[in-house]
Amino acid sequence: MKITKVFTLLAMTGLVFTGCNNADKKANVENPFFVKWDTPFQVPPFDKITSDCYMEAFEKGIQEQNENIAAIVNNNEAATFENTIVALELSGELLNKVQGVFFNMIETDRDSVMNTIAEQILPKLSNHGDNIMLNEALFARVKAVYESDEAAKLQGEDARLLKETFKSFEFGGANLSPESKEKLRAINTKLSELTFKFGKNLSQETNAFQLIIDNQADLDGLPEGVIAGAAQEAKAKGLDGKWLFTLAEPSRVPFLTYSTKRELREKVFKGYANRCNHDNEFDNKEVINEIVKARVEKAHLFGFKNYSEYLLQDRMAKNPENVFGLLNKLWASAIPNAKKEVVEMQKIVDAEGGKFKIEAWDWWFYSEKVKQAKYSLDEEMLRPYFVLDNVRDGAFELAHRLYGIHFNEINDIPVYNKDEVRAWEVTEEDGKHIGVLYMDFHPRESKSVGAWMTAFTEQSNPKGENIPPVISVVCNFSKPSGDKPALLSVDEVQTLFHEFGHALHGLLSNCKYRSLSGTSVATDFVELPSQVMENWALEPEVLNFYAKHYQTGEVIPQELVTKIQNSGLFNQGFMTVEYLAASLLDMYYSTINEVKDIDVLKFENDEMSKIGLIGEIIPRYRSTYFKHIFDGDPGYSSGYYSYIWAAVLDADAFQAFKETSLFDKETATSFRENVLSKGGTEEAMELYKKFRGREPQIEPLLKRRGLN
């Protein structure tokens, strides 16, 4: 998952600004956001930033951007591209700095203080964004440039910036009536509060779950490393001699896969699947109801039937019909495969005298048995070869072979968590600085679940001076345990390559304007750079330079590589169906046409019943913890389909390498120059066609998933 930092702007009156807290004020220490950062490569001075710094930095940032906007509006000269469009693009420098740190930190090191700051600032951010987008005098100048003779002469990125700026005002309500503008302000403020509440509830409910085991017999079936990790988690909580399992993926997934205790698997599974659905303080059902109503109301203000039509107008898919067309086509092929997989698992249950019907909490356990029976492949046979540091270095080496870039670890640089975060300088072959990459790999209570890439500073070059990117990759991988290093599952390996692909998109950006750079592209295009990297992860030539046994250093044997390849289509029915179910659920929410109350669970159950989702599978994300679509506005709302949309692109793109060679320099250079470096400076399909020479074909994806 990639987090796009499209943060709303803000407006407030100015205050007197000195230090971040009382002690700093007495010492007359200036807020670190108010000075030029003298850190290596101008990364944020994390060692100097405290929670007390944020609010005053937000407020001063608001004030400064308001002054920037006033200068544009009050300019007596005729509106030009330079004095209006570029001036607007460059406004809010301080605001960008503080947002770039705060909204990343609340995902990695959330606490009650950060939550309070967010609750206070989000409505103000929403109001400020509306103040800009609904500023009639400002829009008049933007429109004047858009319709001017000068506009027709603009080329390349300048022309794109003008077009996107004008569209952002239309999208933000500049053409609405005065009455509708006021309604929009209220809706946007409400959505900012609701989506934050959704994420806060999810974080707290996820952290609240604990399965504490004090009887060693209840550990039956679990691998040694999983047991050791659970003991380590328990000890950290003061539960010496016991074993603690949580909903973090490195704990939950192995438990569901290997525990022979069906009743405990059910407990863990239901703890995960029923998050924020318990009629308690963390319940998200009413939050979702209010979000959906507000989004429909917002779409209606703009003359659209539903929120999906409003959002998709600027994405590759263009309209809901095209999304449903792809999803339904894939669903028709995937659901029969999933049903066949159930039959295979049920045979094992029956042969063992189980006398029960496969349920959703049995899938991981019995699919693993099927895999072992069919392919003699056990996930635990592979982990010893996937040492986290080696996998990371393997991704680095792949990037070097494709793009000629280097990753050099930096030890004397500020990091936001000294125990967990490491940093690398990224350089060209000739040593030229590209950017900085932070990596933060392991779970902690303060961190959101999942994996993502984001940016503290986005690349730009507006005045002829390149501003290099500062990129971050955040994951929740298995921790080191005892004398064992962190050993990854195959899924975790692919996740690392995925997020690293997003990082390359941000690092290799070569754009003039920040708002068009890096990952600032259509939601259904942004997953291409990440997903295409996954294709290399398990290729034998790539495995040979990073998959090495943690004890012996032995490269993964060809026998295991062959088993991995042979099992490539294994469980594809399940994985495709659970993903498509979530994608369709997202689309059903975003194509609601009426502003009306909905019973969230009934809505989810009814829609899943209509498409024929089998009882043994639940959507990858159920409504109350569907963070992609309800935590942030719009986030991936009406956009979760993007992963499969981009899968069509990435399968077709990787085919270009398979037609030449895995590390073909000419193909890699074309991908870097036409996709990775271009950001959103051109239409996504045009960028893809420049790389591939044609539009993408769906056949490589169907073949990869066994759906043809």
What are the residue numbers of the active site?
A: 499
Please give the span between the terminal C-alpha atoms of the chain, in angstroms, as a whole number: 27
Q: Cα 626 to chain center, whole Å?
A: 13
Residue of 528, 433, 479 whose CA lies nearest to 40: 433
Strands 243-245 vs 211-213: parallel, antiparallel or unpaired: antiparallel
Give the span between the Cα atoms of 393 and 398, in whole angstroms: 9
- CA separation, residue 404 to residues 401, 532, 672 (Å): 6, 18, 11
Three-class DSSP category at 349: helix
One-letter amino acid of 444: R
Calpha distance 91→376 (Å, rounded) = 60
The beta-strand segments (E) located in 98-235 are: 211-213
**The CA-based dihedral angle spanning residues 184, 186, 188, 192, taken in that order and rounded to the nearest 10 degrees:** 180
**Which pair of tokens denotes residue 339?**
């049903």
- Do 306 and 593 form a contact (C-beta atoms < 8 A)? yes
Beta partners for residue 244, in sequence order: 212
Nearest partner of 130 among 75, 185, 84, judged by Cα = 185
Q: Could you count the other beta carbons within 10 Å of the beta carbon of residue 612? A: 12
CA 426, CA 407: separation in Å to the nearest integer? 5
Residues 6+ apart with CB under 8 A from 306: 296, 299, 320, 590, 591, 592, 593
Contact between residue 496 and residue 463 where contact means Cβ atoms under 8 Å apart: no
Q: Which of 486, 405, 498 is nearest to 225 (CA)?
A: 486
- The contacts of residue 554 (CB under 8 Å, 6+ apart) are 548
Instruction: Give dist(CA 684, CA 638) in Å, integer.
Output: 18
Buried b / exposed e along 361-399 (16+ C-beta atoms within 10 A) = bbbbbbbbbbbeeebebbbbebbbbbbbebbbebbbebb
Whether 409 contacts 422, CB under 8 Å: yes
Beta bridge partners of 407: 426
Q: Is the separation of the CB atoms in 59 and 428 below 8 Å?
A: no
Report the candidate in 180, 157, 252 with the shortest Cα–Cα distance to residue 211: 252
Of 419, 393, 387, the C-alpha closest to 407 is: 393
